Amino acid sequence: MRVTQGTFSFLPELSDQEIHAQCEYAIRRGWALAVEYTDDPHPRNSYWEMWGLPMFDLKDGAGALLEINDCRKTFPSHYIKVNAFDATQGFETVRMSFIVNRPPEEPGFMLRRQEGAGRTIRYTTHAYATNKPAGERY
Partner 1 sequence: MSAIAIDKPPQASPPAAAPGLHALYQQSGIAEVLGQLDRELIGLAPVKGRIREVAAYLIVDKARRAQGLTSGPPSLHMCFTGNPGTGKTTVAQRMADILHRLGYIRKNHLVSVTRDDLVGQYIGHTAPKTRDVLKRAMGGVLFIDEAYYLYRPENERDYGQEAIEILLQVMENQRDDLVVILAGYQARMDVFFQSNPGMASRVAHHIGFPDYTAEELLQIARLMLTRMDYRLDDEALSAMRDYIEHRLRRPHFANARSIRNALDRARLRQAQRLFQNAMQAPDRRDEPELDALMRISAADIRASRLFQPDNRPDKDPAQIVVAPQVAPRAPTSNR
What residues are paired with 96 via a beta bridge?
Answer: 84
Pick from 21, 30, 60, 124: which binds partner 1 (CB under 8 A)? 60
CB-wise, 62 or 110, nearer to partner 1? 62
Cα separation, 63 vs 80, in Å, equals: 16
- Residue 17 beta carbon to partner 1: minimum distance, rounded to whole angstroms: 12
Taking contact as CB under 8 A, which single stretch among the options 53-61, 75-83, 84-92, 121-129 is the one that binds partner 1?
53-61
Phi, psi (rounded to 5 degrees) for 116: -100, -165
- Cα separation, 13 vs 102, whole angstroms: 9
By the rule CB under 8 A, 35 interacts with partner 1: no
Spatial separation of the C-alpha atoms in residues 23 and 65, rounded to whole Å: 8
Question: Please, which residue, 64 or 96, has the CB nearer to partner 1?
Answer: 64
Tell me how far, at minimum, the Cβ of 71 lies from partner 1, in Å: 12
Judge contact between 100 and 80, C-beta under 8 A.
yes
In this structure, the number of other CB atoms found within 10 A of the CB of residue 38 comes to 18
Pick 36 or 67: Cβ nearer partner 1:
67
Determine if 57 is a binding residue for partner 1 (CB under 8 A). Answer: yes
